[in-house]
Amino acid sequence: MRTILIVDDSPTIRRMVKASLGGMSAVFSEAGSGLAAIETLAVAEVHAIVLDLNMPDMHGLDVLRFIRSHRQYSNVPVLVLTTRGDADSRAAALQAGASAYMTKPFSPPTLAATIQDLLTNAGAPSAR
């Protein structure tokens, strides 16, 4: 079974993401900070990540750069899910290696379809 790591400092957002993906055959892991996400990656196999950018201890872009700089995680799809809808934030995330980019508030069906697509096709970056 696949594991999806949800990284957001808001417990409410983590619950919403998990509920949106609940129809998928997956196990969910949660991290409330960037450092907790990195710790989770060190001890568990993760098949996809939903990552917020704005977190108190470590910016999501730094987490993303860490993921992409380590060979064992470099192919894990990462969906950046953030309140930042500006073109510069989107470009920075995609340049840092995001597999896809979505803004909050999000559509649960779109989120689920995007994650399913990322798990099925480790394809080129997209921006939904």
pLDDT tens, position by position, 72-90? 998 999 999 999 999 999 9
Give the orientation angle of helix 87-96 with respect to helix 60-69, to 10 degrees.
Answer: 20
CATH number, domain with residue 28: 3.40.50.2300
10 part of a folded domain: yes
Please determine, for residue 122, whether its predicted confidence score (pLDDT) is greater than 90. Answer: no
Phi-psi region of 127 (alpha: psi -120 to 50; beta: other; left: phi over 0): beta
Please determine, for residue 125, whether its predicted confidence score (pLDDT) is greater than 50. Answer: no
Q: How far apart are CA 85 and CA 14, in angstroms?
A: 19
pTM: 0.92
Q: Which of 105, 82, 125, 30 is nearest to 114 (CA)?
A: 125
18 part of a folded domain: yes
Quote the percentage of the chain above a pLDDT of 90.
Answer: 88
Q: Which of 48, 54, 107 is nearest to 78 (CA)?
A: 48
| Length in residues, the chain | 128
Average pLDDT over residues 44-70: 95
pLDDT of res. 4:
97
Q: How far apart are CA 11 and CA 38, in angstroms?
A: 18
Q: How far apart are CA 11 and CA 31, in angstroms?
A: 9
126 part of a folded domain: no
Q: How far apart are CA 47 and CA 105, in angstroms?
A: 24
Task: Count how many domains the chain has.
Answer: 1
pLDDT of res. 121:
78
The residue segments making up the domain with residue 14 are 2-120
pLDDT of res. 123:
39
